[in-house]
Amino acid sequence: MLGLGEQTIRDYPNQYLFKGMASLVDKSPPGRPSKLTKTQRQHLAEWIKASPLDSGYTSGCRNTPMIQDLIWREFGVQYNPHYLATLLKNMGFSYQKARFVSDHLNEAKRLEWRRTRWPKILRHARRQNALLLFGDEASFAQWGSLSYKDRVAGRDYSHQAP
């Protein structure tokens, strides 16, 4: 009913006889002490809540190696990446999956972009005799399906990754 082993149940009366009411005080669970102090965990939480750019990273999204590097850089403490999820959960954070939100869903913003920004991009590309390429913002894996066509000569230069 309590989820305790029989020996633990038998130990309770004995502990009460030897230590009295002090035996009923909740004790912290056994285990390895934290590598970071409470103050360090508070600083880490502040950095995680802020933008990664504020910590000197070039990406706007946090990931496990970035947090591992931040802990090493700021505190000189090495954490296994597999344990970081547990550490962050214990600190009150949860895994967040990125959500794709695009301005193209907002008709007014889409039209404004097409009216102002896109013509500037085209003019600049033409002046530079540049080829415009668009990256996949949804991080969709494109290996095995990459190809392009030479429209001027009508040649097909399809390439597939091994």
The full DSSP string for 34-89 is: PSS-HHHHHHHHHHHHS-GGGGT-S-SS--HHHHHHHHHHHH-----HHHHHHHHH
Which domain range does residue 111 map to? 100-131
- Domain assignment present for residue 72? The answer is yes
Identity of the residue numbered 59: S
Going by their DSSP bridges, the two strands 155-158 and 147-150 should be labelled as antiparallel
pLDDT of residue 149: 43
Euclidean distance between CA atoms 110 and 104, whole angstroms: 5
pLDDT of residue 150: 43
- Over residues 39-90, the pLDDT tens digits come to 999 999 999 888 888 888 888 778 888 899 999 999 999 998 888 888 988 8
- Domain assignment present for residue 89? The answer is yes
pLDDT of residue 161: 42
- Residue labelled with tokens 């947090």: 67
Rounded to two decimals, what is the model's pTM? 0.46
- Domain assignment present for residue 9? The answer is no
Both tokens of 2, joined, read 């309590």
The verdict on 78 and 45 lying in the same domain is yes
pLDDT of residue 123: 93
Residues facing residue 69 across a β-bridge:
none
The verdict on 73 and 106 lying in the same domain is no
- Over residues 91-138, the pLDDT tens digits come to 988 877 666 666 667 888 888 888 999 999 999 999 998 888 776 544
Cβ atoms 118, 125 nearer than 8 A: no
Residue 28 has pLDDT above 60, yes or no: yes
The verdict on 43 and 86 lying in the same domain is yes
CA dihedral over 96, 102, 106, 108, signed as positive or negative: positive
- Over residues 149-161, the pLDDT tens digits come to 444 444 444 444 4
